[in-house]
Amino acid sequence: MQLLGLGIDVVEVARIEKSLSDFGNQFLGRVFTEHEQIYCQQQRRSALHLAARFAAKEAVSKAFGTGIGKEMGWLDIEVKRKESGEPGILLHGGAHSLAAQQGVIDIKISLTHTEHYAAANAVLLGAG
């Protein structure tokens, strides 16, 4: 395996709580897939889990070297729990196309959060 990209992001949970308060479902629908919303809303502190996923999407986009914007949007990167419980990434649309162009065969992510912050890192791997 060859390292193709590395990204990291930290998010203040209060920032996500404010976006939820100010924009509600409009914010949720613009940034998070239906599956992500369902999972997070089942958790005791949904904003904490949404913040971790927000950070993961940013970390993945940084690992690609593009950020969120022209090449890929928020909904092109989806955080899903694997059967083992670890987080995984599903790519859609522009992110999926970019991964194919860059030879990405796997994405490893790690999520963490405290009461006030959520963070994520992402590693893009390709055939070496």
The one-letter code for the residue type at 17 is E
The tens-digit pLDDT sequence of the chain (128 residues) is: 899 999 999 999 999 999 999 999 999 999 999 999 999 999 999 999 999 999 999 999 999 999 999 999 999 999 999 999 999 999 999 999 999 999 999 999 999 999 999 999 999 999 86
Q: What value, to the nearest 5°, has the Cα angle with vertex 53 and ends 68 and 37?
A: 105
Q: Which residues contact 67 (CB under 8 A, 6 or more apart)?
A: 58, 61
Rounded CA gap, 27 and 126, in Å? 33
Choosing from 62, 80, 96, 116, the catalytic residue is 62
Choosing from 18, 35, 108, 113, the catalytic residue is 113
Whole-structure pTM value? 0.95
- In the residue annotation, 62 being an active-site residue is answered as yes
- In the residue annotation, 82 being an active-site residue is answered as no
Rounded CA gap, 54 and 120, in Å? 9
